[in-house]
């Protein structure tokens, strides 16, 4: 059995995540996002930075890909969180994510029949034009009855109608995607796809292991938002090869055991919920020692933007924009070499280019909390 070190795996993942050599094709942002297995977009500016740092583009290019050329689409992705996905891959994403059992949670339970009715109502409602959430509320309740509008879901100090419990399932089944903003309001639009692809789940396992392997079914389940039994079934659909990562069993695609010759080198500034750190496991190897205490929030990755030094988390950072200027405060957990310090300055300049702002870099403590 092949033994792999963390250094080898780190170099492999960084290379495949397009973090070592940026993508050169401005018109091919779908390829960048595909290599990431989706860009987390709960915070849209962070998604723009995640994509932009992997390509020679700015946030405007990302927005054009999303709303003009439509090579990217915004929808619910892994773990039911908002992601940017390549439009061309949407049927396979839907095929994979729709296979995750969905029954609701807590006291707001939905039967499979109720969920199916909601999904169909949402799909029909958005066919003619994008709708705001209030317009979608009215359309769904009118289509399937008052029970769907019962205010039973606690949310942000208030209550949401029952049907919204199935929004994630509706997106995963290809009923809608996010549409262009209408002023400050979010809209929901028809998905640009005929239907979920039958081979989606096996495709997603292959994509995930190509980008973030070696990995285990349990790690895939945590990343995708499924249960362990679902993940084990997903892995069984693909030809795999067992390897050892720092003495622990994990899996890659059969024959895909190669790693770069060089150790991971350089400094990277990764924004909130960057795909690389969210998928990066084992956590104790990516976040060694003090990094776990400082940069993880309850064991969860992504709540803090992180400084990656030679493939390991070595600090946190925060950006604050004021007009055309963006102030970057970087809190380091280790001393940098002169070459690494220059790399940090280059990353700050790159971040400024992506965000279309003039950066100002300051070394010192980050005083804001997670997800600030």
Please list the pLDDT of the chain residue by residue as tens digits (372 residues). Answer: 999 999 999 999 999 999 988 776 666 899 999 999 999 999 999 999 999 999 989 999 999 999 999 999 999 999 999 999 999 999 999 999 999 986 555 556 788 899 999 999 999 999 999 999 999 999 999 999 999 999 988 888 889 999 999 999 999 999 999 999 999 999 999 999 878 899 999 999 999 999 999 999 999 999 999 999 999 999 999 999 999 999 999 999 999 999 999 999 999 999 999 999 999 999 999 999 999 999 998 889 999 999 999 999 999 999 999 999 999 999 999 999 999 999 999 999 999 999 999 999 999 999 998 877
Among residues 172, 199, 217, the one where a domain terminates is 172
The helix or strand, by DSSP H or E, that contains position 279, with its residue range, turns out to be: helix 275-279
- Give per-residue burial for 88-106: e unless 16+ CB within 10 Å, then b: ebbbbbbbbbbbbebebee
The answer to whether residue 85 sits within a structural domain is: no
The answer to whether residue 92 sits within a structural domain is: no
Rg of the chain taking only CA atoms, in angstroms: 21
Whole-model pTM over 0.85: yes
Among residues 137, 172, 207, the one where a domain terminates is 172
- Domain count of the fold of the chain: 2
The answer to whether residue 262 sits within a structural domain is: no
Alpha carbons 330 and 335: distance in angstroms, whole number: 12
Q: Which domain holds residue 130?
A: 103-172
The answer to whether residue 23 sits within a structural domain is: no
The answer to whether residue 62 sits within a structural domain is: no
Give the CATH number of the domain where residue 323 resides: 3.40.630
The answer to whether residue 368 sits within a structural domain is: no
- 192 touches 66 (CB < 8 A): no
The answer to whether residue 232 sits within a structural domain is: no
Among residues 126, 143, 172, the one where a domain terminates is 172
The answer to whether residue 54 sits within a structural domain is: no
């Amino acid at each position: 059995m092949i033994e792999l070190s963390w250094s080898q795996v780190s170099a492999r993942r960084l290379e495949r995540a397009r973090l070592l050599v940026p993508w050169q094709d401005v018109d091919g942002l779908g390829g960048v996002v595909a290599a990431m297995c989706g860009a987390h977009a709960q915070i849209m500016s962070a998604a723009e930075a995640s994509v932009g740092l992997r390509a020679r583009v700015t946030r405007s290019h990302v927005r054009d890909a999303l709303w003009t050329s439509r090579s990217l689409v915004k929808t619910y992705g892994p773990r039911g969180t908002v992601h940017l996905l390549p439009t061309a891959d949407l049927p396979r994403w839907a095929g994979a994510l729709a296979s995750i059992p969905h029954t609701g949670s807590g006291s707001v339970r939905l039967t499979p029949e109720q969920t199916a009715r909601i999904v169909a109502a949402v799909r029909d409602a958005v066919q003619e034009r994008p709708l705001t959430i209030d317009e979608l509320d009215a359309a769904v309740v009118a289509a399937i009855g008052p029970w769907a509008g019962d205010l039973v879901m606690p949310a942000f100090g208030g209550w949401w109608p029952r049907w919204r419990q199935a929004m994630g399932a509706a997106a995963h089944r290809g009923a809608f995607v996010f549409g262009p903003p209408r002023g400050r309001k979010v809209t929901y639009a028809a998905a640009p796809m005929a239907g979920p692809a039958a081979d989606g789940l096996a495709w997603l396992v292959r994509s995930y292991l190509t980008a973030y392997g070696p990995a285990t079914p349990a790690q895939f389940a945590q990343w995708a938002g499924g249960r362990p039994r679902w993940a084990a079934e997903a892995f069984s659909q693909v030809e795999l090869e067992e390897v050892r990562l720092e003495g622990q069993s994990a899996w890659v695609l059969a024959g895909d055991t190669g790693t770069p010759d060089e150790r991971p080198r350089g400094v990277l500034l990764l924004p909130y919920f960057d795909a690389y750190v969210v998928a990066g496991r084992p956590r104790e190897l990516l976040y060694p020692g003090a990094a776990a205490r400082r940069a993880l929030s309850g064991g969860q990755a992504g709540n803090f933007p992180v400084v990656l030094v030679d493939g390991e988390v070595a600090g946190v950072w925060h950006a604050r924009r004021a007009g055309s200027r963006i102030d970057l405060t970087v809190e380091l957990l280790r001393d940098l070499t002169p070459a690494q310090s220059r790399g940090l300055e280059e990353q700050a300049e790159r971040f400024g280019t992506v965000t279309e702002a003039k950066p100002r870099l300051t070394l010192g403590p980050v005083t804001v909390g997670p997800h600030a």
